[in-house]
Amino acid sequence: MDDILSNKPGKLSSDLLDYTARCIEHLGTRQFFDPFFEMIYNIFEVDQCTIFFLDPSSGMECLLSRNFMDDVVAKSLASNYVGDGYNSDPNFSILESLAIGDTKVIHLKDTEKEMDYSYRKHFFSYPHLIDKVSILTAVNIGKYYINFYRGKGRVSFVDQQLFVGGSEAKLFASILSQHYRLNKSLSDEGPLAILSDREREVCQGILHGQKMDAVSAEIGIATSSAITYKKRAYAKLGITSRTSLFDLCRKN
């Protein structure tokens, strides 16, 4: 933590400590995401964040995707990534071979020469993202793959001396792995973890093949209310259809 604070003015240091404390206070709960999103956007100037989990038995899963400029983009990219996009990611082989207890930081400049044209176009050029830093960390149950992106108009993380000493990476690796460990249900829910209880129940009903009448009857609310919750959930998830919901959650 000292390394992180030494590179920042007093106000930012104070804010970082405040956000970190709030994240720790809410580890394992849905309230964790509020200070987490505020911290990565306000302190680290992150425009998009994705978190994946590599389970040794079930493969790659999306735990979180958020784009502060256009959330529809983040959900679409995450869905495509867990589909088969990760096979073209030069970081994936590094993630697979990471030993338990290890944490590694990879900047875009470290591996961009290994990216094929279609991968670079789809995951960077199309969504107008110009920089990325990845934090890979392995625990006994699997491996977390945390990605922070910056869009056009930003400078690179390296140019601002961010994520170059290891301290920031260890901070995020620690709080995120602890967060998901303390509330396994959030990990199981994947992208639905950011929804309210009602919104999540409606989406889970849809994922089980139920029509809205059946969903509303099962959770004890009016059909019109279920439709409202569905609309709110779709807006948060950045999707517009049942098909998109299934695509987003297929790995979960």
Q: What is the pLDDT of residues 65-107, one digit of tens each?
A: 999 988 778 878 888 898 889 999 999 999 999 999 999 999 9
- Structural domains of the chain, ranges and CATH numbers in brackets: 2-190 (3.30.450.80), 195-249 (1.10.10.10)
Closest CA to 191 of 242, 234, 136, 145: 234
Yes or no: say if 173 and 103 are a contact pair by the CB < 8 Å rule. Answer: yes
Q: How far apart are CA 127 and CA 65, in angstroms?
A: 14
The DSSP string of 89-128 is -TTHHHHHHPPTT-EEEEEHHHHGGGS-HHHHIIIIITTT
Give the model confidence (pLDDT) of 114-144 as tens digits. 999 999 999 999 899 999 999 999 999 999 9
pLDDT for 187 equals: 62
Give the model confidence (pLDDT) of 15-66 as tens digits. 999 999 999 999 988 889 999 999 999 999 999 999 999 988 888 888 889 9
